[in-house]
């Protein structure tokens, strides 16, 4: 029996993606019809799970007409949702691709400011939606006003319900998790730049990355730590050892959504009780599938399964 997957998005967005012949200051820039998608880390993880043939429930903070639009977009994609009232109006974001150069310009809004009263409402919604052995995924940026220790507080709530917490975050929240571990996460993911920043040194080789990830496991930050290495795949470390997985080179169209696709595929495999090294292969294959797609597109099942067959894994 597969574990239930619940994703959490405190700072969702409605993503608009369009193209323009050229981008310059001054004149009006005529754009093409936009592609509109529901966005935010946890939402994209749930969408990736759906695209790969699984199901995850997206717990989302919403507000205003944009929040209603977001729920409509998720319903159209068949993603089950649990919505709770967040402060202000749900944000919008935009990416514009310059047709002449192929460059992508991303404009990301901060989102509404949260107060101390908003966080307990979010935690209460998580408590109600979390059952025993639920895989709870916290992914994406935190809204302005949410304290950096929110993931640690969430870990305590999830642990009280015998569920497992998966975190893919950045900035002060990530630093707090690493510097002051209070409740061991089940799985923590970060990209290579974040890993080097936390390590305080370059991590040029796979072995360097594994050594750093192993140090976080020994410190009690998480039972599983994954550090992405861009085109060189990802490294996973746990108490049982370290592994590296990588796909053959693929054509990179857009890196948007690669991390969320990784987390979605990894979590879906974990929900099916696959060994962690096999979950790693699924994550790497899904991330590679995502970078081959346009703009805000995520992985797709056919491409991910094809790439999985070519994905190699090595114990370090």
- Cα separation, 206 vs 284, in Å, equals 15
Exposure of 38 in the CB half-sphere (CA atoms within 13 A): 29
- Cα separation, 50 vs 56, in Å, equals 7
Active-site hit among 15, 168, 260, 300 = 260
Q: In sequence order, which residues have a C-beta less than 8 Å from that of residue 39 and are 6 or more positions away?
A: 12, 13, 14, 15, 93, 296
Overall residue count recorded for the chain in this entry: 316
- Cα separation, 45 vs 189, in Å, equals 13
CA distances from 65 to 72, 90, 192, 303 (A): 11, 8, 37, 35
The packing angle between helices 192-199 and 206-219, to 10°, is: 60
- Cα separation, 314 vs 181, in Å, equals 29
The question of whether 294 is a catalytic residue gets the answer: no
- Cα separation, 206 vs 287, in Å, equals 18
CA distances from 214 to 155, 211, 237 (A): 20, 5, 6
Catalytic site residues?
260
């Amino acid at each position: 029996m597969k574990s239930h997957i619940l994703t959490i998005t405190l700072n969702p967005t409605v993503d608009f993606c369009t193209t323009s012949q050229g981008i310059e200051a001054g004149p009006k820039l005529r754009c093409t019809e936009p592609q509109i998608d529901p966005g935010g880390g946890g939402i994209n993880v749930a969408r990736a799970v759906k695209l790969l043939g699984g199901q995850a429930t997206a717990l989302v903070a919403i507000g205003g007409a944009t929040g209603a639009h977001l729920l409509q977009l998720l319903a159209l994609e068949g993603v089950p949702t649990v919505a709770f009232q967040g402060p202000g109006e749900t944000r919008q974001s935009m990416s514009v691709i310059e047709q002449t150069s192929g460059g992508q310009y991303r404009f990301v809004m901060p989102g509404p400011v949260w107060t101390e009263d908003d966080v307990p409402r979010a935690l209460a919604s998580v408590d109600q939606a979390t059952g025993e052995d639920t895989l709870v995924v916290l992914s994406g940026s935190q809204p302005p006003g949410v304290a950096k220790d929110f993931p640690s507080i969430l870990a305590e709530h999830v642990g009280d319900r015998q569920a497992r917490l998966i975190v893919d975050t950045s900035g002060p929240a990530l630093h707090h998790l690493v510097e002051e571990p209070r409740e061991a996460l089940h799985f923590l993911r970060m990209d290579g730049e974040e890993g080097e920043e936390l390590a305080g040194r370059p991590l040029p080789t796979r072995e360097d990355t594994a050594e750093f990830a192993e140090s976080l496991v020994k410190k009690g930050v998480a039972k599983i730590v994954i550090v992405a290495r861009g085109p060189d795949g990802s490294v996973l470390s746990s108490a049982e050892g370290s592994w590296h997985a990588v796909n053959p080179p693929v054509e990179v169209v857009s890196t948007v959504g690669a991390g969320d696709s990784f987390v979605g595929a990894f979590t879906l495999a974990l929900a099916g009780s696959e060994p962690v090294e096999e979950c790693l292969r699924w994550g790497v294959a899904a991330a590679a599938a995502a970078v081959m797609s346009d703009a805000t597109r995520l992985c797709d099942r056919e491409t991910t399964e094809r790439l999985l067959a070519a994905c190699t894994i090595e114990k370090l």
